[in-house]
Structure 1
Amino acid sequence: MNDTRDDIRYEPQAPLSVAARSACPRCGRGHLFKGFLTLAPRCDACGLDFSFADPADGPAFFVMMTTAIPAVAFGLWLELTYDPPLWLHFVLTLPVVLIACTLPLRFFKGWLVASQYVHRAEEGRLARPAPAPAPTARTDAPGQS
Structure 2
Amino acid sequence: MLTNIYHHKIDVVTDDIDVQGHVNNLVYLKWMQDAAVAHSLEKGWGHDQYGKLGCSWVVRAHQIEYHFPAFENDQLVVVTWVDSFRRASCIRKYEIRRESDQKNLAIAQTNWAFVNLEKRMPARVPQEIIEAFKSDGIAQTS
TM range (shorter): under 0.3
Which structure's CA Rg is the greater one?
Answer: 1
In terms of fraction of residues, the more strand-rich structure is 2
- Structure number with the higher helix fraction is 1
Could you state the TM-score of these two structures normalised by the residue count of structure 1?
0.24
TM-score (norm 2): 0.25
